[in-house]
Copies of this chain bind each other. A is one copy, B any other.
């Protein structure tokens, strides 16, 4: 850091600039030998003493939108990060920072949405904190959630069925050639909904965030077996998820455009705004890498669940591919890059 540069929105956008900030300036300070999955692994969660541990600060704007709000986003996001490593969440913490003058009824709605997911999943918030900041200093509430999880009892079996893997968890470096890539539903809904609300675009269609916890979805997949890795495609969307997998697992991935589930309004919105829905964040989807012997069975079991009824096998890990390639509907192949900045900021 020679020059005293200023922090930009892209530094927190989940793309390449954020990666550089983290790798060059944060990791060297906090490197540690402790833990099975560490900070430097930059996975969805960390693992230490067989405890899965994760955190996310939520600065979504607006705080209310079709399909959810700050509260449901925060709780389900943390649950999904724990699930993505093969954990079963056991408890959460929640720290609120509120702007002075915020309407009490808004806080109440946020908390009720959060509590609803806790109730549905039986995952309690056991520790919390509340701070209030002068209204000139903060525009909207921020909710930071952390969570702990234990190891899913079927993880060993899954990794064995998946042909033996490098790690004991569904980590980013665990893909092998032949693995099928499964998404649990349509992509880009959350990010495009936030954008539509914030900018007042008024797109035609079921404009609605996909926010949901994926406890039942992950459980269904692990009960079939053969799952090698899972990832929560939030900031940077599918494009970021696949590129992280390719880089960390040192494999190439081919994705088939015609197989990717996308809502019609998301496609139109993307075309209108020049934003690729594959680079836009999701909050109720998982991307799975599954051994080819079990991929179809996993897919069928996902399709039986409402919230993953549009699951699809969208590609595979291929020996002769480098990075991430998208095979287009007309038959060509193009590189699917991770976003540099963030096409849609403050979506989570």
Contacts and interface: CB of A to CB of B under 8 A. Distances in A.
A177 B58 CA distance: 45
A317 interface: no
Contacts of A1: 104-105, 108
A55 B144 contact: yes
Interface stretch (A18-26, A199-207, A306-314): A18-26
A90 interface: yes
Interface in A14-46: 18, 21-22, 25-26, 29-30, 32, 34-35, 37-39, 45-46
B39 A111 contact: no
A272 interface: no
Given A25-B111, A103-B4, A111-B29, A142 B97 contact: yes
A134 B39 contact: no
Nearest to A137: B139
Contacts of A139: 136-138
Interface stretch (A119-127, A260-268, A283-291, A326-334): A119-127
A91 interface: yes
A57 B97 contact: yes
B124 A30 contact: yes
Interface string A270-299: 000000000000000000000000000000
Nearest to A6: B101
A59 interface: yes
Contact of A126 (B12, B53, B112, B136): B53
A106 B134 CA distance: 22
Nearest to A53: B127
A144 B39 CA distance: 16
A110 to B, nearest CB: 10
B30 A127 contact: no
Interface in A88-123: 90-91, 93-105, 107-108, 111-112, 114-115, 118, 122
A337 interface: no
Nearest to A41: B126
A171 interface: no
Task: Name which of A29, A95, A129 has the most chain B CB atoms within 10 A of its CB.
Answer: A129
Contact of A115 (B30, B94, B136): B30
Given A8-B100, A45-B127, 10 more contacts: A6-B100, A7-B100, A26-B111, A30-B114, A30-B115, A34-B122, A46-B91, A55-B146, A138-B139, A148-B148
Interface of A: 1, 4-13, 18, 21-22, 25-26, 29-30, 32, 34-35, 37-39, 45-46, 48-49, 51, 53-59, 61, 90-91, 93-105, 107-108, 111-112, 114-115, 118, 122, 124-134, 136-140, 142, 144, 146, 148, 150, 346
Q: Which 4 pairs between the two chains have the least Cβ-Cβ distance? A: A12-B132, A146-B146, A32-B124, A55-B93
27 contacts: A1-B105, A7-B101, A8-B132, A9-B134, A11-B132, A12-B131, A13-B132, A21-B130, A25-B107, A25-B108, A26-B130, A29-B115, A32-B118, A34-B91, A34-B122, A35-B91, A38-B126, A39-B125, A46-B127, A49-B90, A51-B91, A55-B94, A57-B95, A57-B97, A95-B146, A129-B144, A137-B139
